[in-house]
A and B are shown apart, each in its own frame.
Chain A
Amino acid sequence: MDIKSPEFKQSARIALQDANLQKALGNLKAGFPGKRASAVARMPEFDALRDQARDLKNHILEHLDLYLEAFEARVVENGGQVHWCRTSEDARQTILQICREQNAKTVTKGKSMVTEEINLNEYLEEHGVQPVETDLGEYILQLRGDHPSHIIAPAIHLNLEDVSEAFHEHHHRPKSDDPAVLMAEAREMLRKQFAAADVGITGANFLVAETGSTLIATNEGNGDLTQILPKTHIVVSSIEKVVPTLEDMSLFLRLLARSATGQEFTVYNTLSSGNRRPDDQDGPENFHVVLVDNGRSDMVGTEFQEMLRCIRCSACMNHCPVYGAVGGHSYGWVYPGPMGSVLTPQMIGIEKAALLPNASTFCGKCEEVCPVRIPLPKLMRHWREKEFEKHLSPKAVRWGLGGWAFFATRPGLYRWASAGASRFMRLLGGRKGKIRKLPLAGGWTDHRDMPTPTGKTFMQQWNERQQQEKQR
């Protein structure tokens, strides 16, 4: 996926004017937050679970190497193989290599953001292996040559007509505007693919160190068909997804669905441990776990370590007013919303991603809903620090800040300057109490009036009163 994060502002402007996108985003806002709130209300222990999940994730990160070693050893005992990949390139090559060993022509894919991150589909296609996305949303996107705009509802930016159009074009069937008919059509088309695929690739929500299992949570069941029908199952996961035990996984599962879709539990939670057992009648003969680092190990021990607690529930973006206004594609890379504004700079560099951590009012809603209590605004602010330290901030901002700080650290001068500014604005505003156009404040007055100061500054008035009182 091409990196478009440097164009965030332009993309956002276009997105705000795109009526279809805005309609689609309305579906998100009308759905997720309310459903999450009801699910949370039904679980009185929810906040206590969040605290425990935060602490447990911190414990895991402090012992990350040990849990990963334990996980690896168990996968091997279960008859599987583990591949360690430092970069996207390593991961792509490893996966292609496994596909080649199987002489794979087609691979079915369950939903996986890590495979988006490493740009797997394009790579496989270029090398003669056809990936077939099987999650309904991802399938729609693949037909359209599009990318996910949300980490759990990938096609959230599309409307029914878009889907209908894409299906009509690719399935050569009459157009339908009934979502049930469209879904049945996708089901029928993909059945054949499931059965024919040589390799199935899924992501993982959790890696269980105790048992060497990977877990996927899906509502559609596509991930299951992807992994039990082909001869080879490849799990592509990032390293921070490891949890100690099944008991620990249960804690996170209680938080995941409720935070994500507001469901009590995801329909299918499936543990995969190694390859098919000797007498089993189905299941994959080969089991590979591809563990992707891609910058994550660099975050350990830094101010960004807390981001590694993320369980990819999407609550932060579902509740984010900025995401809700501009949609996921505006962010210009794989991970959108608040979690993306923290992760993306790590993965593509702050030079290219600086606009993302700045695109926040720090309203704090994301942190309020995050099941593992990641202080997302604080982490976005840390990226702003990096940006500032590296002198990447726009010149106008740096000069503006410098000038302002000059006054703000000199109270006497500050008094004088604010009194002057107040007087200037009052002159501009005249008797109306507001200004319609203010030099250097176009960002403000393009969209709103600027209320004018109501009189002398408080400090001036206060001092005058103190003087009068003394004289009395």
Chain B
Amino acid sequence: MSDTQTAPIKVGLFVTCLADMFRPEVAFATVKLLEQAGCDVEVPAAQTCCGQPAFNSGDNHNSRRIARQTIEAFEGYQYVVGPSGSCIGMLHHYPELFDDRDPWKQRAEHLKARAFEITSFLVDELGFNAIESRFTGTITYHDSCSGLRELGIKQQPRQLLAEVAGADLREMQEAETCCGFGGTFCVKYADISNRMVSNKTGFAADSDADTLVGGDLGCLLNMAGKLKREGRDIQVRHVVELLADMTDTPAIGEADYDLGQPL
């Protein structure tokens, strides 16, 4: 399927709010990978957020409104792909928002069947592993909860990272334990969240890796913020940056550089 000679696969990119706002590089890296894998990528303008903040706060009314908007925005794409297990996981929850008689339920199911997190899309759906990237350093991988437990993402990023020349993966202890982000949890239960992220940064440090990698910006911002506050010398990056050979930009939370572009 990765053969670019065949008709291109039409993919709608689900940008995700955090990539959009905090780290556009992640979305660009995703586009690059998809194009390398022979996809024709478009970015539907009618998308916003997946709706998870409303959904997890029990606000089903607004969750439904956002779900309908997202379903419509991605109508007509063969696949919907995004750089986040959590946001794509949310798209997979959409059918739960509509009852069986609601025609939106069908449409939600249809979206769910086409929605993939980027690493699992490349590996499971396209069988793509022609990664052309180089990264010198030791890395450790944090399994973000939604990707891991809702979408079964575990081996896919590791399989792709193994193709990155020079990257040496060292698993940390409790790679599968939550980092304490949890969306609004990290501000509503700041003390508990702080304990969880401290445990995580401790394990990351113990692994002796110099770069902490993961597939969800929420968790990565959380862990990077903590590492910076603790003054630990560990860089944090989204997995697609390594896979797309886009690691010349500063790591997350580490921008002692000219902002490059005018505000």
Contact = CB atoms under 8 A, between A and B. Distances in A.
A458 B69 contact: no
Between A387, A409, A448, the greatest number of chain B beta carbons within 10 A of the residue's beta carbon is seen for A448
A292 B185 CA distance: 35
Interface string B178-191: 10111111111111
A339 B192 CA distance: 18
Contacts of B263: 423, 426-427
Contacts of A386: 58
A144 interface: no
A157 B258 CA distance: 51
Contacts of A429: 255
B226 A393 contact: no
Interface in B160-216: 176-178, 180-197, 199
A401 B20 contact: no
Given A411-B48, A421-B21, A454-B25, A405 B59 contact: yes
Query: Interface range on chain A: under 10, 10 to 19, 20 to 34, or 35 or more?
Result: 35 or more
Contacts of A322: 189, 192, 196
A367 B149 contact: yes
Interface in B218-260: 221-222, 224-226, 228-229, 249-250, 252-260
Interface stretch (B60-68, B100-108, B113-121): B60-68
A278 interface: no
A373 interface: no
A387 B57 CA distance: 9
Given A367-B149, A434-B228, A451-B253, A13 B191 contact: yes
A453 B66 CA distance: 24
Contacts of A444: 186-187, 190, 225
A452 interface: yes
Contacts of B257: 431, 433
Given A449-B228, A451-B225, A456-B261, A12 B189 contact: yes
A180 interface: no
Interface of A: 9, 12-13, 16, 321-322, 325-326, 358-365, 367-368, 381-389, 393, 397, 401-402, 404-405, 407-411, 414, 418, 421-423, 426-427, 429, 431-434, 436, 441-444, 446-459, 461-462
B54 A401 contact: yes
A381 B56 contact: yes
A459 B20 contact: yes
B7 to A, nearest CB: 22
A393 B27 contact: no
A364 B146 contact: yes
Contact of A393 (B51, B58, B176, B177): B58
29 contacts: A16-B192, A321-B178, A321-B199, A322-B196, A360-B182, A361-B181, A362-B145, A365-B178, A388-B60, A397-B57, A397-B188, A401-B53, A401-B62, A402-B62, A411-B69, A421-B21, A433-B253, A433-B257, A434-B255, A444-B225, A446-B190, A446-B194, A447-B197, A451-B22, A451-B225, A451-B253, A454-B23, A458-B21, A459-B43
A119 B62 CA distance: 41
Given A325-B192, A433-B253, A448-B229, A458 B62 contact: no
B21 A9 contact: no
A451 B60 CA distance: 30
A458 B249 contact: no
